[in-house]
Amino acid sequence: MKKFIAATILITVLCSAAFAVLANSGPVFWKGYPSSDIMLIEENSPITVKNENLIFDFSDDNGSDYTIVGKVTATYEMANSADKPQSVQMAFPFVGRLNELSPNDITIVADGSSVPYDIFIGDIVDSYGASAQDKEPSFEFKDIVNTITYEPYKAENFAENEKGKLYTIYVKPINEQRINFAVDFNFDSKKTKVLTYGFNGYERNGNNVRIDTWCYKPEILQIYVLGEDINLNINAYTDGELSKKTDLFTHQILTKEVELKPYLMEYIRNNDYRKNNGMFSDIQLYNLYAKVLDNYFTENMGYSSEHDLYGYGNCQRILTLVYTVKFPDNSEKEVSVSYNASGTMDKRETSEPLYSFDYILNPAKNWEDFKNLNITIITPRKAPHIVKSSTRFTKGENNTYTATLSELPETDLSFTLYAHEKITLLDKIQGKLGRNLWHFTFLLIYAIVFMIIGIIIVKLILRSKKNRYI
């Protein structure tokens, strides 16, 4: 018996080693997203751009193991040639996550003074947390400008000032008994909408719904009902099969009438994603989560929970900064925008990762005139060389690359960084061999594991038969 236990432990260790190889391998491709020049929201502005200094600084790479993140600073020398003052609304789109964004990541300055800005929440660019009704993202200038609105979202399934009934349930296991707390109810999705908080389980059969959660300590749960009311049937169980009922708990239900918009805003603020900054206005947060809730009510027959909503704070999406710069008549100003940008990592065909960056220059064509684009790229130590670019660069000291253009190029800017000065045939061969070797090693480890398992089982069977005849 002891030998069997030892064999089981050995098998477990070997399998763990195999999974460790998988876990430590890391991805071979990591998607990055483009950055953009400043956009002019209103057309026919007399403001011209006399010069733009665009700097990509990767010298203090603070990215993950998967990609490179650098500071991008775009400084514009702008001129108002009109005989009257101009109040110019500008926009700057970028890709980011709501729950990761910090005020320290973004700086907007006009003639040395900070400029206040609003952030508008746009389309999702990845699939995490997205519902079927989310459309494909667009980086087109007009599409991004159309997402800039101060108007509240108009939902199909509710109104922002609609009032609903909030059930707040206080649950307390007795003697710290672990219980499965379950609530059963039924509702017609055409007449009732339900939003819950604190429940982990959800089962449904037609209009009949059961939600539940495991309680180890006192918990506060919520059920918010819009439309016709529901009847709650409450039980608790001591096993996962929900067959052993228990009365080793106490609970109290409080009800009150609550308007949807204030409740939804409080609901979102209780999410950890929203506690780290105050960068987004109430109207932007309401528009985002009201749309998500509206979609889920449509897709999920009138039911939603915090698990449906909170994942949207972790989505990569287009975010747009909107700010206003005032120009006196016949004046010039220097406007600067600074932010973080991450690139696409690709190690599918080379021995070292390729890091590619895209910068959308097309919005600059909307200014009255644009001249003199100066680009500087300060490369990181782990990828100090530009091996591919849409613009010809001159390499200087300390692996700094520069380009000077009198006008905007016909295409947007793109460049790729690499550990070596050129991508050689040897790099490509090593990349393919390394990738194939990893797959071979992984399969070999599993083959050895199962071979050892087979040998151990055979030996145990033979030893068992031998002992039987002694």
What's the rounded Cα separation, in Å, for the pair 164 and 336?
47
Question: Which pLDDT belongs to residue 111?
Answer: 96
What's the rounded Cα separation, in Å, for the pair 423 and 235?
65
Confidence of residue 348 (pLDDT cuts 50, 70, 90): confident
Tell me the pLDDT tens digit for each residue of 69-122: 899 999 999 999 899 999 999 988 888 888 788 888 899 999 999 999 999 988
Of the two residues 456 and 284, the one the predictor is more confident about is 284
209-213, 238-242, 387-391, 433-437: segment of lowest average pLDDT: 433-437
CB-based contacts of 134-140 (< 8 A; 24+ apart in sequence): 134/295, 137/317, 137/318, 139/34, 139/36, 139/93, 139/318, 139/360
What's the rounded Cα separation, in Å, for the pair 224 and 219?
17
pLDDT at 22 over 60: no
- Strand bridging mode 69-80 / 385-389: unpaired
Question: Which pLDDT belongs to residue 431?
Answer: 63
b/e for 200-238, b at 16 or more Cβ within 10 A? eeeeeeeeebbbbbebeeebebbbbbbbeebeeeebbbe
Amino acid at 182: A
Question: Which pLDDT belongs to residue 21?
Answer: 40
Give the pLDDT mean for 219-239.
Answer: 95
Of the two residues 452 and 301, the one the predictor is more confident about is 301
Question: Which pLDDT belongs to residue 13?
Answer: 44
- pTM for the whole structure: 0.76
Tokens 């055409």: give the residue. Answer: 190
- Cα–Cα separations (whole angstroms), residue 294 to 94, 131, 260, 290, 335: 26, 11, 12, 6, 39
Question: Which pLDDT belongs to residue 328?
Answer: 96
pLDDT at 312 over 50: yes
Amino acid at 128: Y
49-53, 322-326, 442-446: segment of lowest average pLDDT: 442-446
Burial of residue 312 (number of CB atoms within 10 Å: 0-12, 13-18, 19+): buried
